């Protein structure tokens, strides 16, 4: 009987592990849609996963990514709704709970509370990129000048990239380098992004902007103008920088 019990327990463990791996792979597919800036497709995809993922962590991660996608589309009410669901679905006092609650805090502009929850998440798992990404957003001044600490923003952006380099954290690091007047470093980061995402003309514009302020005005101007001719948001940025002078 003991042998049968052990075998049955092993079977349940393997089945559970397989189910978790399948869930993680599906979530990665949705995250790749966010990485490609296909936010509405990501929302629809993650929504289809909600009913087939019953464990708390998977649901919490799904809701968090839905919130991120809605925020990227500027739909803040929906972003807040799913951010709240993401932390209420998380196991109490877990990494996911504190990270997701920090996201909700930021969306309702409770920044000090967000920092406290990020600190708790970091204590539980100091090797998770998401924490440093949020720290960087806070200290870059995104949520008010009272929290603006450019050196801390840069430090956390670098840590996030070292843990796991992806489009979002590389874009963040490039922007922080530019903000801190490290234009050569900023141009290098955006050049890498241009090569990987040539369809995203914002990266061409940002690279040109960094090159321009680094002293090569002609080359920088040409890159920014090229981007402005192909992308409306880049055209607006170009006009704001040059035509209002």
Burial category of 72 from C-beta neighbours within 10 Å (exposed 0-12, middle 13-18, buried 19 and up): middle
- Residue 4 has a pLDDT of 47
- Residue 23 has a pLDDT of 57
Alpha helices in the chain (DSSP H): 2-35, 39-50, 56-72, 76-88, 95-107, 111-124, 129-139, 150-163, 167-179, 183-196, 201-213, 217-230, 232-238
Helix (H/G/I), strand (E/B), else coil: 181? coil
Residue ranges per structural domain of the chain? 20-108, 127-179, 181-237
- Residue 9 has a pLDDT of 47
Percent of the chain with pLDDT over 70: 87
User: How high is the mean pLDDT of the chain?
Assistant: 88
Q: Which portions of the chain are predicted below pLDDT 50?
A: 4, 6-19
Q: What is the pLDDT of residues 21-68, one digit of tens each?
A: 555 667 788 888 888 889 999 899 988 888 775 676 788 889 999 999
143, 146, 147, 150: CA torsion to nearest 10: 110
CATH number corresponding to 20-108: 1.25.40.10
Query: Which token pair is 24?
Result: 């993680």
State in Å, rounded, how far the first CA of the chain is from the last one: 84
Predicted structure pTM score: 0.83
In angstroms, rounded to a whole number, what is the distance separating the alpha carbons of residues 201 and 139?
Answer: 27
């Amino acid at each position: 009987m003991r042998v049968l019990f052990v075998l049955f327990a092993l079977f349940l463990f393997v089945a559970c592990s397989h189910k978790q791996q399948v869930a993680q792979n599906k979530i990665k597919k949705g995250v790749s849609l966010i990485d490609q800036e296909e936010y509405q497709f990501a929302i629809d995809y993650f929504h289809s996963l909600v009913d087939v993922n019953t464990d708390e962590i998977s649901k919490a991660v799904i809701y968090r990514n839905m919130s991120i996608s809605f925020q990227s589309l500027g739909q803040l009410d929906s972003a807040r709704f799913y951010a709240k669901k993401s932390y209420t679905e998380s196991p109490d006092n877990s990494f996911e709970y504190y990270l997701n609650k920090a996201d909700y805090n930021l969306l309702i502009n409770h920044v000090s509370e967000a920092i406290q929850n990020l600190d708790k998440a970091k204590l539980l798992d100091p090797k998770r990129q998401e924490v440093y990404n949020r720290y960087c957003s806070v200290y870059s001044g995104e949520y008010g000048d009272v929290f603006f600490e450019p050196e801390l923003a840069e430090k956390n952006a670098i840590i996030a990239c070292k843990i796991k380099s992806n489009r979002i954290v590389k874009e963040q690091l490039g922007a922080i380098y530019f903000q801190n007047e490290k234009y050569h470093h900023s141009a290098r980061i955006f050049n890498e992004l241009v090569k990987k995402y040539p369809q995203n003309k914002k990266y061409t514009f940002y690279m040109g902007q960094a090159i321009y302020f680094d002293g090569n005005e002609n080359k920088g101007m040409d890159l920014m103008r090229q981007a402005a001719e192909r992308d409306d948001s880049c055209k607006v940025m170009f006009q704001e920088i040059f035509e209002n002078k």
